[in-house]
Amino acid sequence: MNLQTVDTLIIGGGLSGIYAAYLLAQKNQSFVVLEARDRLGGRILSPEHKGFFSDLGPSWYWPEIHPKMAGLIQELGLKGYRQFEEGLGRFQRPNGEVQTVRGYTNEPLSWRLEDGMMALITKLCEELSGNAIKLNHPVCNIEKKGAEACVSIGELGKEPWARFRAKKVILALPPRLAASTILFTPDLPDNLTQAMLKIGTWMAGQAKFTALYKEPFWRQAKLSGQAFSQRGPMGELHDASNNEQVPYGLTGFVGIPAAQRHDQQPLIEAILSQLALIYGQAAAQPTTIFYKDWAREQFTATKLDQPPMYEHPLYHPPAGQTGFWDDIIHFAGTETATQHGGYLEGALAAAERAVR
């Protein structure tokens, strides 16, 4: 079996893991990123259609309150633009009736990233050596061996097909997912495992839908694209256009709990009918659509993440610990940040702490 020894292993190639790698590269330290999926980004996902990148995970950052995100975007030479919010809003009652309501500007102001949020990951990776990133490497076991950790790759319950040894390991994945899908030897203390399982993974139970169009017909009708519905299937909608260029888009969150989102096709048909009621018939004929159900992603959500989360939790390191096993293992990942946990800003903060 393949056995590789490195100084630091980073488990998870989402924003937190890739930012930790970027910081380690700046310090000339050797590392390997182990990513379970066949792509980087984790909850960041921006598929391309005709040069337009639709954010199916995070789409906003708030420069006024998220200084690390604002600073990194500037440092990487990326460009942000204001969320389009000009015009009137729409509100749908439980009986389906739609009303026009006053539009509003979010405070603090919401910004989007040109070329989608994935541009952050792509740019950070330009500074990393290609062979430091291992895709399709799901970690299933972590064992303490003296002053080092031995990390196995494979499916839980099956023979691992690769092993890595490292002096330090950064766990850059949601703590609940780590506690549910990785075996630790020796056993982690019960209070730590329980604390990890109880930290809800932010937005893991959500599904997002985006429809792209040739014309921003809602803007032409003096609508901002903002809409809220008490009927569904979409609960909340926004303009998702890439600044001022074709294609234009509408996007939002599906308001139906994960357990009821069975068949994708009827759900998408119901969403398009709802969009037509809210914005007019043109909304039922998008040029393309994207739908992502995060609750069905094995490397994001667990069974515990299926019920909707109605409030943003107050995140902190599990059981107050930023690491364990004499500091061989360090937590990163947004759910372990003490400030802005759950957000992209928290993913950066937790990575900085782990690297420190």
Nearer to ligand FAD, 52 or 202 (CB): 202
By CB under 6 A, tell whether 174 contacts ligand FAD.
yes
Nearer to ligand FAD, 204 or 277 (CB): 204
**Exactly one of 344, 348, 349, 355 binds ligand FAD (CB under 6 A); which one?**
344
Compute the distance between CA of residue 333 and CA of residue 346 in angstroms, rounded to an integer: 8
β-sheet bridge partners, residue 92: 98, 229
Compute the distance between CA of residue 155 and CA of residue 162 in angstroms, rounded to an integer: 11
Query: Is the Cβ–Cβ distance between 44 and 15 less than 8 Å?
Result: yes
Nearer to ligand FAD, 181 or 273 (CB): 181
**Exactly one of 9, 35, 73, 331 binds ligand FAD (CB under 6 A); which one?**
35
By CB under 6 A, tell whether 176 contacts ligand FAD.
no
Return the residues of window 181-210 that contact ligand FAD according to CB under 6 A: 181-182, 202-203, 206, 208
Q: Please choose, out of 40-48, 81-89, 240-248, 322-330, the segment that lies near ligand FAD by the rule CB under 6 A.
A: 40-48
By CB under 6 A, tell whether 177 contacts ligand FAD.
yes
Compute the distance between CA of residue 308 and CA of residue 326 in angstroms, rounded to an integer: 36
Tell me whether strands 139-145 and 148-153 are parallel, antiparallel or unpaired.
antiparallel
Compute the distance between CA of residue 225 and CA of residue 234 in angstroms, rounded to an integer: 13
Does an H or E element contain 348, and which?
Answer: helix 344-355
Q: Which of 286, 148, 269, 146 is nearest to 216 (CA)?
A: 286
Q: Which of 120, 110, 113 is nearest to 17 (CA)?
A: 120
Least separation in angstroms between residue 33's CB and ligand FAD is: 9
Q: Please choose, out of 244-252, 308-316, 322-330, 337-345, the segment that lies near ligand FAD by the rule CB under 6 A.
A: 337-345
Nearer to ligand FAD, 92 or 302 (CB): 302
Residue with token string 């203390």: 189
Residue 41 phi/psi, 5-degree rounding, is 110, -30
Q: Please choose, out of 55-63, 163-171, 276-284, 316-324, the segment that lies near ligand FAD by the rule CB under 6 A.
A: 55-63
Longest Cα pair distance anywhere in the chain, in angstroms?
67
Return the residues of window 276-315 that contact ligand FAD according to CB under 6 A: 294, 299-300
**Exactly one of 9, 10, 11, 23 binds ligand FAD (CB under 6 A); which one?**
11
Least separation in angstroms between residue 282's CB and ligand FAD is: 26
Least separation in angstroms between residue 163's CB and ligand FAD is: 14
Q: What separation in angstroms does the CA of 270 have from each of 48, 232, 256, 266, 274?
A: 24, 9, 12, 6, 6
Helices within 258-333 (DSSP H only): 264-279
Query: Is the Cβ–Cβ distance between 149 and 3 less than 8 Å?
Result: no
By CB under 6 A, tell whether 139 contacts ligand FAD.
yes
**Exactly one of 32, 120, 121, 173 binds ligand FAD (CB under 6 A); which one?**
173
Return the residues of window 317-336 that contact ligand FAD according to CB under 6 A: 333-334
Q: Which residues bind ligand FAD (CB under 6 A)?
A: 11-17, 34-37, 42-44, 57-61, 138-139, 172-174, 177, 181-182, 202-203, 206, 208, 294, 299-300, 333-334, 342-344, 347
